[in-house]
C-alpha cells in the first residue's frame, strides 16, 4: 500500500472524477491512500463535452460538489470554464457546487475559456457562495447573470446580496460590463452618474462589505459607438471604485483591444483614469495591460496620478509586432513620467515582452535611449523576470573548474548584453544562485525537511567526493536545516548538456556512461528518480543562461574529455520502504504520469493498474537516449540492441540500469580502433518518430542483426495500438484496468480452470488425430 501525500490536485479529465472521489472515500483504493485532508489546492481544468445535455451537466456539478466535501482543508480553487453551452440555458440550474460552505477556502478563480460561449452564474447563487466562505482573500468571479430586473439601474429597493462583510478579502478581479451599470455585489443603488441629486449612500447598506480590500484588477469591455450613444457619451463610474477606491493601493486595468479601435476621436477608455484619480487617492501601483496600438498620448489622457510609485506594463496580444513596443516605450518616456510624477519603477510583467525588447534592442534603440534620457534619477526600468539572477562578485573572464566546482566563463550568445554575464535562471521557484566566501558559484535549493528529497541529498552529501564524481551524481556541499525546511547547497553547474553538439561519436559515449552510472547509483540504494530527462542533467561548465548552445569553451572541454555530466533533482523521487525488493516493488499507474513530455515510456498506456518504477526509470532514460542518439545506430551498431532493450514493451526482459551500463561498457570495448573518431551527425526529421516506432535496425549488417536478433523489439501490433487508443479515454481505461486486476487476481485458479475446461477437447483432438 502506498501513502499519497498531495497538496495540489489537478482534474484534467472529468472521466477521472469518479476514481478521484473513490480514492478519497475509501481507506484503500487502487493500492494507494490519498489523504484528502492534505489537499490545499484544486484545479478543475477538464474539458466538458456534454453539449446541450442539462441533466448530464447537473450530474457532473453534483459530483464536483461531493468532491469538495472530501477536501476539508482546501484553500485554493481554480475553475476553468470550458463548458460547451449555448446561451444561458444552464443558468437556471447553475453550478450548484458553489453552495458548498467552507471555512478554509481563501482563493477562488473562475477563468473563462475565450473559445467557448460563456456560462453565466446566477447572481443569487454567487452571492450565496460568497456568504458561505467568510475567509476568502482573493476572488476572480465568474460572469454573472443579473436575474430579471432586481438589479436594474436606480432601483432604490435593491440591497447588497452579501449578508456580512468579507473581512479577509484583499484582492479582487472584476469585469466591467456596462449592459447594466450597477454592480449589485458591491452595494447597488442610485449613483452620482445617473442621479446627481441622490446621496451616495441612498438605498444602500452603510456597512463596508470589503473593509481590507487593497488590490483590484479591472477588465474593461470595449466601448463602441453604439454603446457610447446609449450612455450619452459619459461612462458611469464603477460602483466598487466609487465606494472602495480610497482603500486601494494597487489597481490594474486590462483592455483586450486598442483604445482607438472604436473609431472615436477621443477614446472612451480614457474616461476611466479621471475616475481613478478622483477616487483612488492612496494608489501606489498602477497596471496598464493594453495592446498598445494607439499613439502614446491616448491611454491616460491628461490625468495626473500623483501618488503612483510603480507602473506595471504588459502587451495583451501574443502576436509580435514592432510598432506596439515602440508605442509602449514612448509611453514610458513621454507620458508616464509626466503624468506620474512620483514614478520610481517601471516593470514589464510579461517575460514575452522583455524577451522581445532584448531581442530587438537595435530596432528599439531610439525608444530605449529616450527612456534612459528622460526618466527621473530614481526611476528604474525592471526588465528582467524574477527567475533570473546575476552574481554580485565579479569573476575572471575564464575560470578553470576544480571538482566539485564547474568551469565557467563570460561568453554571451549576444555580445550586446554585457550586463548578462553568468546570468542564472531557474523557473522552479525553488533554486537561487549564490557565491561562497571564496567566490565559488553555488546553487541553493529549498526542500522540505524529512522528505525523500532531503534524505537522498543527505545520503549524497555523506559519500566521498571522488565516489560521487565517478558515479554521475551532482555533489552536495552542505545542507542547512531551519524550521521544517532545508537549504541544499550544491555547486553551480550548467544545463543543456547536449549543446554545443558533440564533434565526434566518442564525445557522446561519456554522456551515456555518466547518466547510466548515476541511475545505477540511485537504484542500488532503493531510490526511484521518476523524472529523468535532459532537463534534469547538468555539465560541469556554465556561462550565462541561454548562452551554452554555441559556447566554444564547452566545445573544447568536451573535446578534451574534461566535461562531466550528472543527474540531479529529486523532488519527485521515491525511496522504497525497508524490506521491499527491487523488481517486486510496484506503484499505482497514476504515478507514472509524472515527468516531462517526451521522456515518458508507454508502459502504462495499455490499461495497466500498476507498474515497476525501476524498469520505468530505465525506460525513461532509454527514451531520452533515443531522442538524441537513435539516428546514430548505423554508425554505432550496438545502440540498436541497447536502446531496444532499455525500452522494450516486455518489462521482465528490459535491462536493469546495471545491465544497460555493462552492455554499454562491453560494446564500447569491442569497437574497432578509430570507430569513435567519426564525426557526430546531427539528427534530422526522422528522429522525431516515436521511439517505439523508429526502426533502429534498418541498414545494419545482416550478421550483426542475426547475432542480436533476440534483442530486437518487434513492431507495434495493431492490437497494442487499438488498446492504447481505447485507454486514451479515461472511462475505458478504468474498465481495462479493472479487467486486468480481475485477471491477475484469478491467476492462482485460472490455469487450473482452463485446463479442466478444455481437457475433453484436447482428448478428442488427440483421438481424432490418432484415428486418422
Closest by CA to 377, choosing from 348, 342, 347, is 342
pLDDT reported for residue 42: 85
* The three grid cell numbers given for residue 451, joined into one nine-digit string: 522528505
Average pLDDT in the 304-330 region?
86
pLDDT reported for residue 200: 40
Residue 179, pLDDT > 50, answer: no
pLDDT reported for residue 421: 66
pLDDT reported for residue 663: 96
pLDDT in tens, 343-359: 878 888 887 788 788 77
How many C-beta neighbours within 10 Å does residue 413 have? Answer: 15
Fold of 1-148: 3.80.10
**Neighbour-count burial of 757, counting CB atoms closer than 10 A to its CB (0-12 exposed, 13-18 middle, 19+ buried):** exposed
Angle at alpha carbon of residue 210, lines to 205 and 212, rounded to 5°: 145
Closest by CA to 620, choosing from 530, 518, 690, 728, is 530
The H or E element containing residue 763 is helix 747-771
Q: In what order do the strands lie in the sheet with 441-448?
A: 431-435, 441-448, 485-491, 478-482
Residue 661, pLDDT > 90, answer: yes
Q: What is the 3-state secondary structure (H, E, C) of 139-163?
A: EECCCEECCCCCCCCCCCCCCCCCC
**Residues linked to residue 171 through DSSP beta bridges, in sequence order:** 138, 215
579-584 CB contacts, 8 Å cutoff, 24+ apart:
580/526, 582/523, 582/526, 582/614, 583/612, 583/614
Residues 6 or more apart in contact with residue 41 via CB below 8 angstroms: 7, 8, 9, 74, 75, 76, 77, 78
Residue 29, pLDDT > 60, answer: no
* The three grid cell numbers given for residue 475, joined into one nine-digit string: 555533489
Beta strands at 407-409 and 398-399: parallel, antiparallel or unpaired? antiparallel
Q: Which of 142-146, 365-369, 453-457, 690-694 has the highest mean pLDDT?
A: 453-457
Closest by CA to 158, choosing from 180, 134, 176, 173, is 180
Comparison of pLDDT for 373 and 600, the residue scoring more: 600
Domain ranges of the chain: 1-148
Instruction: pLDDT band for 155, please (50, 70, 90 cuts).
Output: very low
| Preceding omega of 404 cis (within 30 degrees of 0) | yes
Comparison of pLDDT for 715 and 84, the residue scoring more: 715
284 and 320 in contact (C-beta within 8 Å)?
A: no
CA gap 367, 362 in Å, rounded: 10
pLDDT reported for residue 639: 94
Torsion angle, alpha carbons of 396, 401, 404, 406, to 10: 70
pLDDT reported for residue 219: 78
Give percent above pLDDT 70 in the chain. 72
Instruction: pLDDT band for 388, please (50, 70, 90 cuts).
Output: low
Average pLDDT in the 321-350 region?
83
CA gap 486, 650 in Å, rounded: 41
Residue 277, pLDDT > 70, answer: yes
Instruction: pLDDT band for 147, please (50, 70, 90 cuts).
Output: very low
Instruction: pLDDT band for 267, please (50, 70, 90 cuts).
Output: low
Of the listed ranges 33-42, 202-211, 380-389, 626-635, the least confidently predicted one is 380-389
CA gap 716, 73 in Å, rounded: 46
Q: Which of 35-39, 117-121, 658-662, 723-727 has the highest mean pLDDT?
A: 658-662
pLDDT reported for residue 637: 92
pLDDT reported for residue 249: 92
**Neighbour-count burial of 130, counting CB atoms closer than 10 A to its CB (0-12 exposed, 13-18 middle, 19+ buried):** buried
* The three grid cell numbers given for residue 27, joined into one nine-digit string: 481507506
Which regions of 162-309 does DSSP assign to beta strands (E)? 171-176, 215-220, 250-255, 285-290
Average pLDDT in the 80-93 region?
48
Instruction: pLDDT band for 403, please (50, 70, 90 cuts).
Output: very high
pLDDT reported for residue 582: 87
CA gap 502, 514 in Å, rounded: 15
Amino acid at each position: 500500500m502506498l501513502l499519497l501525500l498531495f497538496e495540489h490536485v489537478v482534474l484534467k479529465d472529468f472521466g477521472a472524477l469518479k476514481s478521484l472521489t473513490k480514492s478519497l472515500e475509501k481507506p484503500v483504493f487502487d493500492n494507494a491512500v490519498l489523504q484528502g485532508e492534505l489537499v490545499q489546492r484544486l484545479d478543475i481544468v477538464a474539458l466538458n463535452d456534454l453539449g446541450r445535455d442539462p441533466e448530464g451537466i447537473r450530474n457532473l456539478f453534483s459530483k464536483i460538489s461531493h468532491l469538495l466535501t472530501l477536501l476539508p482543508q482546501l484553500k485554493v480553487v481554480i475553475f476553468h470554464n470550458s463548458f460547451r453551452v449555448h446561451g444561458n440555458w444552464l443558468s437556471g440550474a447553475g453550478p450548484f457546487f458553489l453552495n458548498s460552505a467552507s471555512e478554509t477556502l481563501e482563493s477562488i478563480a473562475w477563468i473563462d475559456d475565450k473559445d467557448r460561449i460563456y456560462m453565466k452564474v446566477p447572481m443569487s447563487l454567487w452571492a450565496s457562495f460568497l456568504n458561505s466562505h467568510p475567509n476568502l482573500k482573493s476572488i476572480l468571479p465568474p460572469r454573472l447573470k443579473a436575474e430579471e430586473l432586481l438589479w436594474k439601474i436606480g432601483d432604490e429597493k435593491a440591497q447588497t446580496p452579501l449578508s456580512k462583510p468579507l473581512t479577509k478579502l484583499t484582492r479582487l478581479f472584476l469585469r466591467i460590463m456596462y449592459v447594466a451599470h450597477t454592480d449589485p455585489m458591491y452595494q447597488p443603488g442610485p449613483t452620482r452618474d445617473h442621479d446627481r441629486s441622490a446621496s451616495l449612500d441612498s438605498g444602500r447598506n452603510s456597512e463596508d462589505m470589503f473593509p481590507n480590500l487593497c488590490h483590484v484588477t479591472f477588465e474593461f469591455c470595449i466601448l463602441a459607438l453604439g454603446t457610447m450613444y446609449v450612455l450619452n457619451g459619459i461612462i458611469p463610474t464603477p460602483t466598487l471604485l466609487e465606494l472602495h477606491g480610497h482603500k486601494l493601493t494597487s489597481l490594474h486595468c486590462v483592455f483586450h483591444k486598442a483604445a482607438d479601435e472604436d473609431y472615436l476621436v477621443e477614446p472612451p477608455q480614457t474616461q476611466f483614469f479621471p475616475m481613478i484619480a478622483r477616487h483612488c487617492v492612496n494608489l501606489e501601483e498602477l497596471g496598464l495591460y493594453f495592446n498598445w496600438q494607439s499613439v502614446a498620448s491616448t491611454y491616460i489622457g491628461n490625468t495626473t496620478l500623483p501618488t503612483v510609485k510603480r507602473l506595471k506594463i504588459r502587451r495583451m496580444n501574443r502576436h509580435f509586432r514592432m510598432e506596439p513596443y515602440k508605442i509602449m516605450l514612448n509611453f514610458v518616456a513621454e507620458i508616464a513620467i509626466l503624468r506620474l510624477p512620483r514614478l520610481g519603477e517601471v516593470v514589464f510583467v510579461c517575460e514575452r515582452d522583455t524577451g522581445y525588447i532584448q531581442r530587438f534592442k537595435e530596432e528599439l534603440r531610439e525608444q530605449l535611449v529616450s527612456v534612459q534620457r528622460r526618466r527621473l534619477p530614481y526611476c528604474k526600468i525592471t526588465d528582467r523576470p524574477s527567475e533570473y539572477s546575476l552574481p554580485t562578485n565579479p569573476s575572471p573572464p575564464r575560470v578553470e573548474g576544480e571538482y566539485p566546482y564547474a568551469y565557467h566563463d563570460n561568453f554571451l550568445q549576444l555580445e550586446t548584453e554585457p550586463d548578462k554575464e553568468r546570468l542564472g535562471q531557474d523557473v522552479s521557484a525553488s533554486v537561487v544562485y549564490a557565491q561562497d566566501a571564496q567566490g565559488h558559484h553555488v546553487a541553493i535549493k529549498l526542500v522540505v525537511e524529512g522528505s525523500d528529497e532531503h534524505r537522498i541529498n543527505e545520503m549524497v552529501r555523506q559519500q566521498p567526493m571522488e565516489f560521487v564524481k565517478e558515479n554521475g551524481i551532482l555533489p552536495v556541499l552542505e545542507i542547512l536545516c531551519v524550521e521544517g525546511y532545508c537549504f541544499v547547497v550544491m555547486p553551480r553547474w550548467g544545463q543543456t548538456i547536449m549543446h554545443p553538439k558533440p564533434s565526434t561519436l566518442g564525445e557522446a559515449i561519456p554522456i551515456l556512461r555518466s547518466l547510466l552510472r548515476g541511475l545505477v547509483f540511485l537504484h542500488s540504494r532503493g531510490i526511484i528518480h521518476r523524472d529523468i530527462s535532459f532537463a534534469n542533467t547538468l555539465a560541469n561548465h556554465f556561462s550565462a543562461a541561454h548562452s551554452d548552445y554555441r559556447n566554444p569553451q564547452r566545445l573544447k572541454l568536451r573535446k578534451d574529455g574534461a566535461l562531466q555530466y550528472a543527474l540531479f533533482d529529486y523532488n519527485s523521487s521515491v525511496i522504497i520502504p525497508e524490506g521491499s525488493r527491487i523488481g517486486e516493488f510496484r506503484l499505482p499507474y497514476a504515478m507514472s504520469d509524472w515527468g516531462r513530455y517526451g521522456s515518458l515510456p508507454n508502459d502504462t498506456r495499455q490499461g495497466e493498474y500498476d507498474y515497476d518504477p525501476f524498469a520505468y526509470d530505465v525506460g525513461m532514460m532509454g527514451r531520452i537516449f533515443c531522442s538524441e542518439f537513435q539516428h546514430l545506430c548505423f554508425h554505432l551498431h550496438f545502440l540498436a540492441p541497447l536502446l531496444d532493450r532499455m525500452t522494450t514493451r516486455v518489462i521482465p526482459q528490459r535491462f536493469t540500469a546495471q545491465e544497460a551500463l555493462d552492455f554499454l561498457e562491453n560494446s564500447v570495448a569491442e569497437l574497432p580502433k578509430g570507430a569513435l573518431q567519426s564525426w557526430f551527425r546531427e539528427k534530422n526529421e526522422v528522429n522525431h518518430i516515436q521511439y517505439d516506432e523508429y526502426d533502429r535496425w534498418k541498414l545494419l549488417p545482416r550478421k550483426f542483426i542475426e547475432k542480436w536478433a533476440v534483442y530486437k523489439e518487434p513492431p507495434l501490433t495493431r492490437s497494442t495500438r487499438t488498446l492504447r487508443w481505447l485507454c486514451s479515454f479515461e472511462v475505458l481505461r478504468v474498465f481495462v484496468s479493472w479487467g486486468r486486476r480481475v485477471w491477475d487476481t484469478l491467476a492462482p485458479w485460472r490455469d487450473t480452470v482452463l485446463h479442466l475446461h478444455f481437457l475433453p477437447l484436447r482428448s478428442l483432438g488427440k483421438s481424432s488425430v490418432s484415428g486418422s
